[in-house]
């Protein structure tokens, strides 16, 4: 991975890794469960964690407070599907105090949209201003095929409810070979026509999903070249705090994001860490590194052991990921499913 750089001096309230990257963005999975079974994310017959293994909301809140103390400015709740965890709004109400105090710049979440009709107004009331919704097609039959049993109309109604509640919505689309790659222009026109940014994502080789990744993977370089035949695209010098690079689509006036873990490694500017619902910290989505935070969290009423464990973990953050998709190996690059890590 190359020699480590000499990082700038860190204070006790900051997280600087050995390559000089400042860690300010926490993606926190609060459940591995989901009400869909998207073919690129999980297998159809998933075995989920016992609920007793999950961190309690009080523990998740304490964990977040420790990371805010360490310099995290943005927290994104993920899953699985975060909105299927029972009494989820009680956690959001706890975390929203950090927005009120100025400890956090942003609290947000990524959702499949299935629960938005129920929760959109409460999300807004907790200080959430924008959300990401995973949506890979506007065709009901394709939607059911990709999610294995999802209801597209329920998701579209949820998106509409979220917008009416005042939430900004960004659509995340995983581009899948021979399934939705021909639908990208339609998705682009639809999203921009409804005031939403569209972000395209390359499929990542994580977890055994029962389908060969070579049969799913499409390079976004190819997708961009196809779009450029019909749209005028220009680079934007803009970041949302995540890995996406943005383009302006002049015909629609909207923005198009590209997340390219396979064709364009974005690790040099990575400011993110991920924590699972059981308290395992992953400093890189595409590596098998893991640090247990649950044990130090539960070992003491104060945070000294927890902070020490966090500091050790940040010191192991790798320079980048090593995702590989090829025909010689049908094994995922990373054994854990995306739903376990959090998207």
Does 80 belong to an annotated binding site? yes
C-beta pairs of 99-105 under 8 Å, 24+ apart in sequence: 99/127, 100/127, 103/68, 104/68, 104/72, 104/73, 104/74, 104/75, 105/73, 105/74
Does 319 belong to an annotated binding site? no
Does 38 belong to an annotated binding site? yes
Query: How many angstroms separate the Cα of 177 from the Cα of each of 136, 180, 219?
Result: 12, 7, 9
Phi, psi angle pair for 2, to nearest 5°: 95, 165
Does 85 belong to an annotated binding site? no
Backbone angle region of 20, left / alpha / beta, with phi > 0 → left and psi within -120 to 50 → alpha: left
Does 277 belong to an annotated binding site? no
Does 74 belong to an annotated binding site? no
Does 126 belong to an annotated binding site? no
Does 267 belong to an annotated binding site? yes
Does 57 belong to an annotated binding site? no
Does 255 belong to an annotated binding site? no
Give the separation between CA 98 and CA 126, rounded to whole angstroms. 11
In the sheet with 74-78, reading across from the earlier edge strand, the strands are 233-236, 245-249, 254-259, 197-202, 168-175, 130-134, 106-111, 74-78, 25-29, 272-275, 280-282, 291-292
Does 274 belong to an annotated binding site? yes
Give the separation between CA 177 and CA 34, rounded to whole angstroms. 24
Which residue ranges make up the annotated binding site? 27, 34, 38, 40-41, 76, 80, 110, 134, 170, 204, 267, 270, 272-274, 284
List residues forming the annotated binding site for S-adenosyl-L-methionine: 40, 80, 134, 204
Q: Which positions make up the binding site for GTP? A: 27, 76, 110, 170, 272-274
* Residues contributing to the annotated binding site for [4Fe-4S] cluster: 34, 38, 41, 267, 270, 284
């Amino acid at each position: 991975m190359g020699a480590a750089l000499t990082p700038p001096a860190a204070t006790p309230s900051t997280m600087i890794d050995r390559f000089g990257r400042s860690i300010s963005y926490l993606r926190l999975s609060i459940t591995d469960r989901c009400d869909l079974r998207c073919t690129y994310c999980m297998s159809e017959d998933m075995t989920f964690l016992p609920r007793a293994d999950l961190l309690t909301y009080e523990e998740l809140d304490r964990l977040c407070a420790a990371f805010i103390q360490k310099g995290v400015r943005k927290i994104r709740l993920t899953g699985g599907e975060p909105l299927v965890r029972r009494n989820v709004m009680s956690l959001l109400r706890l975390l929203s105090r950090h927005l009120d105090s100025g400890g956090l710049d942003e609290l947000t979440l990524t959702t499949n949209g299935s629960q938005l009709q129920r929760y959109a107004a409460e999300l807004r009331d907790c200080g959430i201003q924008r959300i990401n919704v995973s949506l890979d097609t506007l065709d009901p039959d394709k939607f059911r095929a990709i999610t294995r049993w999802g209801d597209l109309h329920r998701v579209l109604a949820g998106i509409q409810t979220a917008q009416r509640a005042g939430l900004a919505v960004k659509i995340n689309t995983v581009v899948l070979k021979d399934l939705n790659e021909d639908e990208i222009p339609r998705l682009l026109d639809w999203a921009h026509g409804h005031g939403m940014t569209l972000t395209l994502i390359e499929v990542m080789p994580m977890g055994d999903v029962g389908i060969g990744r070579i049969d799913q993977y499409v390079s976004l370089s190819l997708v961009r070249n196809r779009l450029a035949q019909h749209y005028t695209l220009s680079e934007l010098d803009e970041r949302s705090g995540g890995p996406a690079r943005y383009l302006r689509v002049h015909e629609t006036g909207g923005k198009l994001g590209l997340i390219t873990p396979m064709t364009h490694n974005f690790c040099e500017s990575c400011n993110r860490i991920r924590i699972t619902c059981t308290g395992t910290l992953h400093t890189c989505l595409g590596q098998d590194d893991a640090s247990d935070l649950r044990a130090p969290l539960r070992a003491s009423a104060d945070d000294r052991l927890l902070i020490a464990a966090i500091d050790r973990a940040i010191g192991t953050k790798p320079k980048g990921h090593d995702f590989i998709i090829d025909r010689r190996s049908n094994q995922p690059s990373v054994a854990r499913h995306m739903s376990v890590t959090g998207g």
